[in-house]
A and B are shown apart, each in its own frame.
Chain A
Amino acid sequence: MLVFTCFACEDSLLERPKAITVENFYNTPSEAETGIAAIYLPLRSAFGAVYLATHEASTDYFVARDVMLQLSDFEGIEGPNRVALEDIWHSFYLSVRNANLVIKHVANGNELTDVQKAGFTAEARALRALNYFHLVQNWAGVPLRTDQNMDVIELSKSTAGEIYDFILADLQFAENLLPDNVSRAGRLSKWGAKTILSHVYLVLGRYADAATKAAEVIEAGKYSLVAVSAADDFEQVFGAGTVNSNEEIFYLKYNRESPWGFPRYLTGNNFSYLGLPGYYMISGRYEMKFYREWNNADLRKKYGVYDDQNVDGAFEYDDSREDLPNQISSRKFRDRTQQAARNDYPLYRYADLLLLYAEASCEQAGAPTPAGVDKLNMVRRRAYGYSITQPSPVDVNIADYDKASFIRLVFRERGYETHSEGKRWLDLKRASVGKEIIREATGKTIADRHLLWPLPVMELNFNKAIHPVNDQNPGY
């Protein structure tokens, strides 16, 4: 009897979970696709709210309130704001880990063709590069987690240069292996990867490479600006109901079941652009130069901003008004009936790419180029409701600008175009004109310590290969 029981028992001691283990996964195309989807998930969390709000708080057009107020002083990040960034760091790295898992396991996928393996690997590597691109811009040198060192607990910081080399290698690998057209909107195409690559070159100051890569995407003719004749037509670009547009190069997708948190940081309290009162964490001020210079005829202004004294109308300057507004808020990402917004996050729009080309080509040539000016004009024409391809009254004339003034012009245009998109701070930081723009707009000087974020405590506490003092970013 004992012997029988023992056979039975040894068998009953084997674990048979009704779940999938990592080791048995990534074998079929559908398995690999769900693994790929898991790279996007934490990326969406990273861009969910705080990251974008933190960036927008340090700009020439917004100031933050309450605990975030400090971010608008350009003197570094402490307290709750510093704490909040720890989750952002983790989200980027969680996305990196999920990418590394795909890269590592897809290679052995027993039901995948070589072409499929290459495609999945390319997508994972490009997304990994995108994560590192954001890590390196905010923190400079960071630990470089790859599919080769996933199990290493203590890993020292790589230099910013090493991280950029790695980003370039990933993107250059991926740019031609990714599909021309994506199977589902929200996934990265080869054009998306090339756009990221172009952006990386721009940040690195490799303007020729940036312009060439941007031109490659533009000339492919895959994208166009959505034509606009009235302010509300921008719904087709930013609206909650817009699933896809010609302008979309790479967006992060949100919907009703899995909404986007950031718009609530923008909209005002008890006002009607979301189903719930907004936090108005970041908002503009009446006296700001940015809004004063912004032409009232610019449909982007009409569509995107409003003031608290005239919630439903357009915000226009009129110093004779008796009810001068306290705040200018953004309604760019509106979703009136929902408690959380369904809008997508436009990480790369065609307009971004056009302005990127305008800047890079000017930097490369040492002066504005006709092609570059044309790209800028395309963006301006659309903004004022003119035909995008025909000359218009709002066109700028190449003869009126030298390099410096054209770069300033591009930055001003970028400000109008990407207002509320969380891109401004990184643009201002990378460019030589950034400090000047901030000083002119706010009278404030950007402290050196504000340029890089502190490495998270949750990293320093548990990664002994990074010294909490010597390896910490300056000023922290």
Chain B
Amino acid sequence: MKEKLTWFALIAMALMLAKPSLGQTVITGKITDGDNGSPLAGASVSVVGGQSNAMSGQDGVFSLRVPSLQLKIRVSYLGYVPIEVDVNGRQTINVQLRPDAASLDEVVVVGYGTVKKSDLTGSVASVKGKDINAFPSANLMLGLSGRAAGVHVKQSNGHPGENVSIRVRGANSIRGDNEPLYVIDGFPSSPYVVNNADIESIEVLKDASATAIYGSRGANGVVLITTKSGKAGTSTVDYESSLGYQQLRKKMEVMNTQEYTSLYNMMNVNSGREPYFTDELIATLADMDWQDFIFQTAPIQQHSLSVAGGTNKTQFTVSGSYLGQEGIITGNDYNRYSLRSRISHNINERLMVDVSIIASRINTNRQNSAGGRLGETLIATALTGPPILSPFNEDGSYSDFGASSPHVTSALRNPLNFIYELRNPVKTNQIVSSAYFSYKLLDGLTLKVYGGIDNYDSRYDSYNTLKFVNMIGGSATVSSSQFTSLINENTINYAQVFGGKHSLNAFAGVTYQDFLNTYVEGSGREFLSDVTETHSLSSAGIPGIPRSGYTKSAIMSYLGRVNYSYDNRYLLTASFRADGASKYSPGNKWGYFPSAAVAWKIKEEQFLKDQDFISDLKLRASWGYTGSQAIGAYATLNLLQVQQTVFNDALYNAFAPSTSLPYQLRWESTRQQDIGVDFSILKNRISFTADYYQKDTYDLLNVVQLPSSMGFTTSLQNIGQVRNRGFEFAADATIVDKAFRWMMDGNISFNKSSIVELHDGEDILSGHVNLGIMNDNLVLLRQGQPVGIFYGYVEDGYTDRGFINYKDINADGQINELDKTIIGDPNPKFIYGLNSQMSYKNVDLSLFFQGSYGNDIANISSMTSTLDFGWGVNTLKEVYYNHWTPENPNAKYPVIQYQAVKFSDRFIEDGSYLRLRNIEIAYNFRMVNRFFKRARVFASGQNLLTFTAYSWWDPEVNSKGGPNSVNQGIDHSTYPMAKTYTMGLQIGF
């Protein structure tokens, strides 16, 4: 607060000094935002054709000395449409500026610098902080979904705070990380530390010309996250708050007790046994739908307060935020507290310093129990839990599913065990801090020395209580991990215009970043009491073996880039980066990543310059190489692992390699070509961007499965080439621009991946799932096919006894692995987003749709919940009403009798969807007074409408997704996504 007063004093002094001298005329006035009436500080006011100019102050008020009152003044502000006003003898002029939807003067952040949007040679998608922050989410990147062409955002599951996977222009790598590189204000780090409200903009670098400057980490695209910073001459305080309620989108229809008992009696009869459930017995049974028990309506809330401002010499921003989300599954949550501050100070005209710190604390209670066989996990139990059982016995203890009836396996567990007797809190502290000095050596020549520390400490406590079913004495594990990354980047930049037409911007640097991971873990089981939880491992009856680990890797790089433009018409960018990585074996450590791009600003040519209809036209073309750090540290070394075996009655160490066979590895490199056009008309009222690209990734690293007789089951090898080709279109338009304003923007991307070459042309099987009833690989990589297609059997009706028949594809009279064929493709034909913003007077309405078309989902969840009758699991209602009988031979489901099944086309479903991701109605108060500058209240809903044919909980599902997974689009008893109703307010002081 004291600081803030100082700022006010400084500004007041500046205003006093600017007081006009006697004998001249002064115009005063106030500049405000035409939409919400908030004052615009730092707007520039100048006399058209004259020398005089001024800047608006804190309250938007300006004061301009003018020679007379018969002239025009020009008022401009970044991001707003500038206007000229006839003074016409007035001494007080209030000006309202309109936000400019598509300003070409906008500056876009690129790798190691910024560039005017109109000067871009590469393909870069820019999303504003306002859009990212449209609705509260524990994960920043969810806000990116549907906002940028070519950027596919996928959430693996609905667990609060769950990581999001992003694919920029398809997946390049089979084994490797396909996630883009995240760079926060210049620091390659994890994006989860940043609060949504702190985002100024997010830029996604897509083509090689934009990404090659990140060399070996650029192949999957680069996401640059820029946080808000204070502006000179202003001082703002913003408070935002929202509260939402999340719910399960839809329930599955499972059998009730009457149907369940009838079905299992039927199964007994079909299997030649006596029916088990008698009418007398049925009368004593409960009737539960475990979904009602497991899912809840859960709150999500977000609050943030930020203060920003500064003088010409010093700018600052400080913000604090809290996000609290409970899961729609009882007993898990996510709480993030974050603080951020950034100060930059001009020491003198040449030297400046900038310091930034982002600190966050995340407390989350995880509910990891998903997937698995039958009902051995919490999420599976929601559907497989038998309806005949109550959660509690009469004495208040948890009912034991396994002991309840001879049908029910003890692998099925009462979900109360997971909810109340299993605790998995994770507590994380992360600090990303960095500082730089920049020094102007000469006019146009700047040296920058940048250093930073990213520190991430996490503690995971896992506790099974004494009450957990089928477990004596509970168990506890405590694991603490530390991650530290140090970075140093030394760069030099030269910018100069020669002879008025030749503009040069060159940059070179040497950088180093290392990554150190350590962990320590202790465990024990058989405790006397739950009181100690994980905090007294020494009281364990059976102490576990303590573990610890260490990995370190480093990257060292030389990099440079030249931007040249001639006459603002022809633009050329060339860049080069040499990366040395410790992860690769000697001789293979260095990789070289060049790129080049050209652009032609046709609009600047004489024949278009004075053309009014076309306001911008630019052609772009680029080429370049990027790489992927697809492997972990020490992946090329044949390390021994320690385990324990027993002699006498004691444990002895046993050293042996893991089941992964090490191999000599080369870099994975991606060559990408891109051509694009930027086109806008009617004074940028409608603008359009289109790109076509082709990416070829060579020397793919992949886990090659080995025959299990080798002892080794997998090996990492460089095995081939993948190609991604696609079109991207993005458009925005101001459709109506009157008192009622309507703007729309949208994007659509078509990506087609294809495996060009595999080692010896051989198929690679992946996505291994063992459900008991089925054990197979679901996913195939095959030359000429898209990445990650589903590979299985084709059904051919039922046998005489009602069992599933499979097609004998190779007609050899047997059904075996040779009859597997391609049965689905998880890759969408296209993904799209459509955003509509309407405003009338004080009211805004925005609608944001997002969707995916043409992707298949392998619904493995349904395998247990519709076909696995061996264990007393509950199944879908429709199984009971629509299964094979001699009278109903073409039923949807086979005869009610246990049989092992194969992974077949039955489980492949169309996963296309169109979803109203966000709808928001907001009211802006025009209440500029001494307390508020602006105030806004809104009500919104997320995922309220979903159009899909997918049968299970939610089409946005990716159970086996993750940074290095080719196994996309598999649904295996996964935490479903929620729909949310939100209310909130935003106030500016």
Complex Cα spacing A472 to B818, Å? 13
Kindly list chain B residues whose C-beta atoms are within 8 Å of the C-beta of A18. Answer: 550
Docked-complex contact A258 and B654, CB < 8 angstroms: no
Kindly list chain A residues whose C-beta atoms are within 8 Å of the C-beta of B816. Answer: 468-469, 472
Instruction: Judge if A257 is at the interface, Cβ distance under 8 Å.
Output: yes
Complex Cα spacing A258 to B647, Å? 11
Kindly list chain A residues whose C-beta atoms are within 8 Å of the C-beta of B589. Answer: 13
Complex Cα spacing A401 to B472, Å? 52
The interface bits of chain A over 310-347 (1 if a CB of B lies within 8 angstroms of the residue's CB, else 0) are 00000000000000000000000000001100100000
Q: How large is the interface on B (under 10, 10 to 19, 20 to 34, 35 or more residues)?
A: 35 or more
Docked-complex contact B656 and A41, CB < 8 angstroms: yes
Complex Cα spacing A239 to B872, Å? 35
Kindly list chain B residues whose C-beta atoms are within 8 Å of the C-beta of A150. Answer: 710
Docked-complex contact B633 and A253, CB < 8 angstroms: no
Instruction: Judge if B410 is at the interface, Cβ distance under 8 Å.
Output: yes
Q: Contact check: which of A2, A83, A468 meets B770 at CB < 8 Å?
A: A83
Kindly list chain B residues whose C-beta atoms are within 8 Å of the C-beta of A14. Answer: 582, 586
Docked-complex contact B472 and A86, CB < 8 angstroms: no
Instruction: Judge if B402 is at the interface, Cβ distance under 8 Å.
Output: yes
Docked-complex contact A145 and B711, CB < 8 angstroms: yes
The interface bits of chain B over 390-426 (1 if a CB of A lies within 8 angstroms of the residue's CB, else 0) are 0000000000001100000110000000000000000
Q: Contact check: which of A16, A41, A155 meets B643 at CB < 8 Å?
A: A41
Complex Cα spacing A457 to B645, Å? 29
Kindly list chain B residues whose C-beta atoms are within 8 Å of the C-beta of A393. Answer: none
Residue of B nearest to A81 (CB): B900
Pick the interface stretch among B24-32, B98-106, B771-779, B851-859.
B771-779
Instruction: Judge if A400 is at the interface, Cβ distance under 8 Å.
Output: no
Kindly list chain A residues whose C-beta atoms are within 8 Å of the C-beta of B648. Answer: 184-186, 243-244, 253
Instruction: Judge if B726 is at the interface, Cβ distance under 8 Å.
Output: no
Residue of B nearest to A460 (CB): B817
Kindly list chain B residues whose C-beta atoms are within 8 Å of the C-beta of A339. Answer: 470-473
Looking at the assembled complex, report how far the CB atom of B441 sits from the nearest CB atom of chain A, in whole angstroms.
15
Instruction: Judge if B510 is at the interface, Cβ distance under 8 Å.
Output: yes
Docked-complex contact B514 and A31, CB < 8 angstroms: no
The interface bits of chain B over 759-800 (1 if a CB of A lies within 8 angstroms of the residue's CB, else 0) are 000100100001011011100000000000000000000000
Kindly list chain B residues whose C-beta atoms are within 8 Å of the C-beta of A98. Answer: 656, 711
Kindly list chain B residues whose C-beta atoms are within 8 Å of the C-beta of A270. Answer: 403
Q: Contact check: which of B554, B651, B709 meets A463 at CB < 8 Å?
A: B709
Docked-complex contact B637 and A143, CB < 8 angstroms: no
Residue of A nearest to B544 (CB): A257
Instruction: Judge if B889 is at the interface, Cβ distance under 8 Å.
Output: no
Docked-complex contact B646 and A15, CB < 8 angstroms: no
Pick the interface stretch among A89-97, A214-222, A370-378, A409-417.
A89-97
Kindly list chain A residues whose C-beta atoms are within 8 Å of the C-beta of B900. Answer: 78-80, 82-83
Q: Contact check: which of B646, B654, B706 meets A254 at CB < 8 Å?
A: B646
Complex Cα spacing A25 to B656, Å? 10
Complex Cα spacing A142 to B709, Å? 9
Instruction: Judge if A110 is at the interface, Cβ distance under 8 Å.
Output: no
8 Å CB contacts to B: which residues of A417-476?
A: 456-464, 466, 468-469, 472
Complex Cα spacing A86 to B709, Å? 10
Complex Cα spacing A279 to B812, Å? 40
Looking at the assembled complex, report how far the CB atom of A195 sits from the nearest CB atom of chain B, in whole angstroms.
18
Residue of B nearest to A465 (CB): B707
Residue of A nearest to B553 (CB): A15
Instruction: Judge if B871 is at the interface, Cβ distance under 8 Å.
Output: yes
Given A9-B556, A93-B709, A279-B410: A101 touches B765 (CB 8 Å cut-off): no
Kindly list chain B residues whose C-beta atoms are within 8 Å of the C-beta of A466. Answer: 707
Complex Cα spacing A80 to B374, Å? 13
Residue of A nearest to B653 (CB): A34
Docked-complex contact A243 and B403, CB < 8 angstroms: no
Instruction: Judge if B634 is at the interface, Cβ distance under 8 Å.
Output: yes
Instruction: Judge if A21 is at the interface, Cβ distance under 8 Å.
Output: yes
Looking at the assembled complex, report how far the CB atom of B775 sits from the nearest CB atom of chain A, in whole angstroms.
4
Instruction: Judge if B712 is at the interface, Cβ distance under 8 Å.
Output: yes
Docked-complex contact A17 and B634, CB < 8 angstroms: yes
Complex Cα spacing A184 to B814, Å? 51
Docked-complex contact B646 and A186, CB < 8 angstroms: yes
Complex Cα spacing A35 to B655, Å? 5
Kindly list chain B residues whose C-beta atoms are within 8 Å of the C-beta of A276. Answer: 470-472
Docked-complex contact A31 and B582, CB < 8 angstroms: no
Docked-complex contact B646 and A21, CB < 8 angstroms: no
Given A20-B640, A41-B656: A94 touches B581 (CB 8 Å cut-off): no
Q: Contact check: which of B544, B639, B653, B776 meets A457 at CB < 8 Å?
A: B776
Instruction: Judge if B947 is at the interface, Cβ distance under 8 Å.
Output: no
Docked-complex contact B713 and A90, CB < 8 angstroms: yes
Instruction: Judge if B899 is at the interface, Cβ distance under 8 Å.
Output: yes
Given A17-B634, A41-B654: A12 touches B512 (CB 8 Å cut-off): yes
Docked-complex contact A9 and B580, CB < 8 angstroms: yes
Residue of B nearest to A153 (CB): B706
Instruction: Judge if A162 is at the interface, Cβ distance under 8 Å.
Output: no
Instruction: Judge if B532 is at the interface, Cβ distance under 8 Å.
Output: no
Instruction: Judge if B114 is at the interface, Cβ distance under 8 Å.
Output: no
Docked-complex contact B647 and A253, CB < 8 angstroms: yes
Instruction: Judge if B650 is at the interface, Cβ distance under 8 Å.
Output: yes
Kindly list chain A residues whose C-beta atoms are within 8 Å of the C-beta of B444. Answer: none
Q: Contact check: which of B550, B580, B711 meets A94 at CB < 8 Å?
A: B711
Residue of A nearest to B400 (CB): A277
Q: Contact check: which of A153, A258, A275, A469 meets B710 at CB < 8 Å?
A: A153
The interface bits of chain A over 11-37 (1 if a CB of B lies within 8 angstroms of the residue's CB, else 0) are 011111111111101000001001101
Given A21-B638, A184-B648: A143 touches B655 (CB 8 Å cut-off): no
8 Å CB contacts to B: which residues of A163-221?
A: 184-187
Kindly list chain B residues whose C-beta atoms are within 8 Å of the C-beta of A67. Answer: 772, 870, 898
8 Å CB contacts to A: which residues of B888-920?
A: 898-900
Instruction: Judge if B735 is at the interface, Cβ distance under 8 Å.
Output: no
Kindly list chain A residues whose C-beta atoms are within 8 Å of the C-beta of B644. Answer: 41, 257-258
Instruction: Judge if B529 is at the interface, Cβ distance under 8 Å.
Output: no
8 Å CB contacts to A: which residues of B534-580?
A: 542, 544-545, 550-554, 556, 580
Docked-complex contact A15 and B634, CB < 8 angstroms: yes
Instruction: Judge if A66 is at the interface, Cβ distance under 8 Å.
Output: yes
Kindly list chain A residues whose C-beta atoms are within 8 Å of the C-beta of B775. Answer: 80, 83, 86, 457
Docked-complex contact B403 and A269, CB < 8 angstroms: yes
Instruction: Judge if A256 is at the interface, Cβ distance under 8 Å.
Output: yes
Instruction: Judge if B652 is at the interface, Cβ distance under 8 Å.
Output: yes
Instruction: Judge if A10 is at the interface, Cβ distance under 8 Å.
Output: yes
Docked-complex contact A25 and B470, CB < 8 angstroms: no
Given A66-B871, A270-B403, A458-B708: A40 touches B640 (CB 8 Å cut-off): no
Looking at the assembled complex, report how far the CB atom of B697 sits from the nearest CB atom of chain A, in whole angstroms.
23
Docked-complex contact A40 and B410, CB < 8 angstroms: no
Given A184-B648, A469-B812, A469-B816: A97 touches B711 (CB 8 Å cut-off): yes
Kindly list chain A residues whose C-beta atoms are within 8 Å of the C-beta of B712. Answer: 97
Docked-complex contact B647 and A184, CB < 8 angstroms: yes
Kindly list chain B residues whose C-beta atoms are within 8 Å of the C-beta of A22. Answer: 638-640, 657
Instruction: Judge if A381 is at the interface, Cβ distance under 8 Å.
Output: no
Instruction: Judge if B659 is at the interface, Cβ distance under 8 Å.
Output: yes
Docked-complex contact A12 and B514, CB < 8 angstroms: yes
Docked-complex contact A80 and B646, CB < 8 angstroms: no
Kindly list chain B residues whose C-beta atoms are within 8 Å of the C-beta of A279. Answer: 410
Instruction: Judge if A38 is at the interface, Cβ distance under 8 Å.
Output: yes
Complex Cα spacing A254 to B633, Å? 35
Instruction: Judge if A287 is at the interface, Cβ distance under 8 Å.
Output: no
Docked-complex contact A21 and B649, CB < 8 angstroms: no
Looking at the assembled complex, report how far the CB atom of B764 sits from the nearest CB atom of chain A, in whole angstroms.
9
Looking at the assembled complex, report how far the CB atom of B548 sits from the nearest CB atom of chain A, in whole angstroms.
9
Given A17-B634, A18-B550; 13 other pairs, CB 8 A cutoff? A5-B512, A9-B512, A9-B556, A25-B655, A37-B652, A41-B644, A94-B659, A100-B711, A253-B648, A269-B410, A275-B472, A458-B705, A459-B709
Q: Give me 12 A-to-B residue pairs in the complex whose CB atoms sit less than 8 angstroms apart, sorted by A's number.
A: A17-B550, A17-B633, A35-B654, A38-B654, A66-B409, A78-B900, A93-B708, A256-B542, A342-B649, A456-B708, A460-B817, A463-B707
Q: List the 5 closest A-B pairs by CB distance, nearest first.
A: A97-B711, A79-B900, A463-B707, A9-B556, A38-B656
